[in-house]
A = this chain, B = another copy of it.
Amino acid sequence: MKQRPRESRRTAAKMTDIARLAGVHVSTVSRALAGSPLVEASKRKRIVQLAREHGYVVNPVARSLRLQRTQMVSVVIPLQHAAGQPLTDPFFVAMLGHLAEAVTQRGYGMNLQKIVLPTHEWLDEIIASGRSDGVVVIGQSTEHETLQRAAANYLPLVVWGAQLPGQKYCTVGSDNPGGAARAVRHLLQGGRRRIVFLGDPTGPELRQRYEGYAHALRDGPPGTAAPRTVPAELTPDAAYQAVRECIAAGEAFDALFAASDVIAISAIRALTNEGLAVPHDVAVVGFDDIALAAHTTPSLTTVRQDLEQGARTLVDLLFRRLDGEETASVTLPAELVIRDSAPA
C-alpha cells in the first residue's frame, strides 16, 4: 500500500496561524477576512495583508462544513451505455464549456460527474452527499422517473432535455418536435418523399424529434412514404454501419433526417462511399448545428440548438431555485439552418 508522503505538500497555513501572527483571536481573523465592519479598519487591513503575505486562503472544505453550503454546482451526465455517446461528443463538450462559463461567472465552482450505467440511486446520492449546492443534469436519458422522484423534495435541480407531460422537474431544452418538423417539411418542399429517420428514439429528446418527423410526414403531400426508422446509437461508427447496412438491404430513400449532426455526418460519408450523391440522390438533415456542421462537405443542413443560451438559461434557473423560486421549464427555439446537404 502506497502512502502519501507529507513532505510533498507544504502544510497549508490555517486561520489560527494568521491569528497568532496578528496577535488576535481566530474569530477576529475570520471576521476580518470576511470584510466584517465589526473589525476595526486598521486591524482588518493588517490582517488581510498578513494573510496575503503568507499565502493564506480560507479552507473551503472547513468553510463548507460550517456553513452547510459549498459554492459548488454539480454537473452530471447520465449515459445509457458505456459504449454510447462518450463525454467527448461535441454536443456534451460544448454544453460543458458554456456551463463552466456561466457557473464560474457567478463565483461558483463546478464539479463534473459522469454517470455511466445509472445505478439505482445515482441522483439521490449526489444530492444527499451535499457535495454541491445545486445540480445540473445534462440529458434525461432513461432517467425520467429518477428525476421526478428527486425533484419532489429537492428544489435546486435543473435538467437539459425534453419537457414531458406531468413533469415535476425543471427542464431547459430545444423545441425538438418543432425543429424536426421544420426539417422534414423542408425536405418535402425539396421534393423528397421517402424520408428516413436515423437514430434510436428511446430517450425523450430523440423521441420528440422522431414525433416531429412522423407528424410532418403525416401532413405531407400524397405519395409521401410512411415514417421509417433506421436505429443507430449516437456514435459515428454505429451510424456509419447502420446506414451501410440499410443501403445493402436495398432500402430505397431519397432523404435522411438524422437525430444528431454527429450521425448525420457519418451518414453522409456512408452514402458517399456507397456511391450515392448528397444531396442529389439523398438529402441529409442533422440536428444540433455543431461547429463542424458548417464545414463538412457538403456542408450540413441542420436544426440549430443554441447551447450557449441553453447553458445560460440552465444556470440562471438554477440560481433562482437556489433562492427558493419555483421556476418553470423553458423551451428554446430550434431553427433550421439550410446548407448544402439539403439545399432550398
Cβ contact of A114, chosen from B100, B125, B127, B323, cutoff 8 A: B100
CB <8 Å contact, B324 and A5: yes
Q: A42 on the interface (CB 8 Å rule)? A: no
In the complex the two chains form, what is the Cα distance from A322 to B121 in whole Å?
30
How close is A324's CB to chain B, nearest CB, in angstroms? 4
User: Within A62-99, which residues are at the interface with B (CB < 8 Å)?
Assistant: 62, 64-65, 69-70, 72, 86-90, 92-94, 96-98
Query: Counting CB contacts under 8 A, is A124 at the interface?
Result: yes
Which of chain B's residues has its CB closest to A101's CB? B87
Q: Are A57 and B125 in contact (CB under 8 A)?
A: yes
Contact A90 B291 (CB under 8 A): yes
- CB <8 Å contact, B131 and A8: no
Segment from A104-112, A184-192, A207-215, A242-250 that makes contact with B: A104-112
Q: In the assembly, how many copies of this chain are there?
A: 2
Q: Are B88 and A97 in contact (CB under 8 A)?
A: yes
Separation of A114 and B110 alpha carbons in the complex (Å): 10
A22 to chain B, nearest CB (A): 18
Instruction: Name which residue of chain B comes closest to A77, CB basis.
Output: B100
Residue total for A at the interface (Cβ-Cβ under 8 A): 66
Give Cα distance in the complex from A339 to B8, angstroms: 47
Q: Quick one: closest B residue to A114, CB to CB?
A: B104
Of A136-144, A150-158, A278-286, the one touching chain B: A150-158
Q: A96 is contacted by which of B9, B90, B97 (Cβ under 8 Å)?
A: B97
Q: Which of A97, A296, A322, A323 has the most CB of B within 10 A?
A: A97
Residues of A within 8 A of B (CB): 2-5, 8-10, 12-13, 55-62, 64-65, 69-70, 72, 86-90, 92-94, 96-98, 100-101, 104, 109-114, 121, 124-125, 127-131, 153-156, 265, 291-292, 295-297, 299, 308, 321-324
